[in-house]
Structure 1
Amino acid sequence: MDPLMLLFLLIAGLTGVSTVKWMRVQRGGSITIPCFYDDRYKPHVKYWCRGYNVSSCTPIVHTDSTQEGKVSIRDDPDQQVFTVTINNLTTGDSDRYWCGVEISGASDVGDRVNLSVTDAPSGLSVDKQEVTGVDGDSVSVQCYYGNNKRHRMWCKIGGSCASERSVSLDGRPVLIRDDTENKTFIVTMRGLERKDTGWYWCAAGYLQIPVHITIKQGGDNEKLRWEQVLDAVLKAGTGVFYLICTIIAIQLHWTSCKKREPIREKQKVSLNQRKLAEEMTFIEQNESEEL
């Protein structure tokens, strides 16, 4: 087993809480960190704190609080994971943090994560930490490693790891391709199933970046596609409606003009006939006077 995975499982077995170990994020960005816990901790309050160890660190957010701000926390007992999201990161956020679980009448348990925020590129990043796929299909994740030349892997948290030479991950076909020109390794998972939903991570040396993959049923995706098509039709229909209204207005104006044209012609003819009658009357009068 990979040493990194072995360390992860060892710590999880000792404390009942586990998370990623080292993350480096560029200033101004955000990060979501998953914290996993044993089934026995489902009813317990979870928290995120900053400090040297879990017994003396300063809590920032708790799962029993609805406070939202720069740091937010959300517990998912069904999946036995709580997630912490930190936004608008600054270099002052660099420190040692803990995923903690409150234990009544005893010392709290937790796992440590080291977070470093830098002005320069982080050395390991992804476009987005939330990726969605469809069962039976495939998903791809691009892990940017920049100038980080260390060994690169793709791991499933609680499962195994795969490298560029691997062809599968926990029995699922996987392809890992290193794009050296763009300094990216691209992970493609194929033949997806609903059970593949979960947290994974990109790793380059000791750095890790977590990625959550959600696999939906084909019907769900088909419904989503139809909703997107309907939305597009409605948007296009609005433009078509205005175009039709413009055409109708032009047509009505043209028709109205055409209707007025015979009236003007009749008025013109009537005027000409009146003038002619007046001229004939004038001539007849002159001829009578001469006689």
Structure 2
Amino acid sequence: MWSLHNLLFTLCIVLRCVTTAVEVIHVTGYLGSMVKVFCSYDEGYESYEKYLCKNDCGSYDVLITTSNPVINKYGIHDDKTTRIFTTTISDLHSVDAGQYWCGVTRTGSDIYTEVKLELVRDNCCDTVTKIQSYEGYESISCPYESQYQNSLKYICRGNRPSTCLQQALITSDTKSNGRFTLDDDKVSGTFTVNINNLTQNDSGSYLCGVHRNSKLDIFTYVELEVQEWCCLNSIKINGTVGHPLTLWCPYPAQNWDYKKLFCKGDHRNNCTNVTSQRRFTLQDDAYSNSFLVRITELEAADAGTYWCGSDSQWRVGNYTKIQLSVVFLQHTTTENFTTILEIVGPNSTDVPDATVYVVFAARSVLLLLLLCALVIVHKYKYYKLKEAEVPISRHPPKAAEEEELSAADVQKLKSIVCHKPYYKCPPLFFA
């Protein structure tokens, strides 16, 4: 048996006494999320009780009232200044979709406004815009319709529309937030999000959102893939301190009229322009799609990593990485030997370690002299023995002082060769 309240509600529908239900509030929510229902009322009803009910609004159909503002997953708040009471429904499931009524309690028949709740899945979208980029810098363009020129724009990571605005990386109100900036071109109907210092960790899903007060926000789904940053060419060059050096920097043909850059730094993000120094000159040759950088007099501090290119945005393929090692050549000469010293300059991680070459020419000469002396001595002894075997000499014998003089010569040779400060002869070399 129906209650008196149900009977009155049915009669009001039949007799069209629900005069305030001239419009229907359409609300769309996401499954598993929360939805808000905004219901307005006329002046004079600020102190009256408000409520939300479902179906026929029977006794058991009333979900929440302002006299008891929180029940399970329902909540209600009455803003008497704006004369709008807001009802929230959390943890939405498919059974929550359907017809609701915003009610204002009064003597006689209550005031009702019809609400239709539609639920959709919490993901987006049918189409995906894929962007491939490289570490460094990227722009994401998000188009929108002209009627939303003054609407709030934003971008978030992930693919959940229900939480996108709350987790927005940047909005059109803030315009700048850390690495992110947002520019809204209302003429073209596109807002652009720029990301600086882009890394591979920035790869993933993004949602461009346009906020709508009474309906679900509009989204554009973007899939961003960030690849490891690389360059057009990578070369290694050696230069000599005090000497000139010319570096060759090619660039893509389409960049012939771009401003050319040449800078120094371990990474392009901390690259310092060096062409302001008088020793560095840059000459462009558009016919060969390259430019030359000449260093008039190389210094030790010039060793390091250089970048030359033709695109200030550092887009891939528009620059060359140069690893320059600086060499010192030092020649020192002493008696009978020469030292040649070569040292590779700093920042030489990609070139062999610094090396020292020392050539002792004197030692080789000394060894050769020793061998010659040894041969001379043995030949001398050999002839002496031959002369002793011959009974009759065709030549008169040498005087004693001449024989002693020959021995003294040998002794002098020994002292010259074997008593140098850098070499000693073993006793067996001389009898």
Tell me if both proteins adopt one fold, taking TM over 0.5 as the criterion: no
TM-score, length of structure 2 as denominator length: 0.27
The higher relative CO (CA closer than 8 Å, separation ≥ 6) is in 1
TM-score, length of structure 1 as denominator length: 0.38
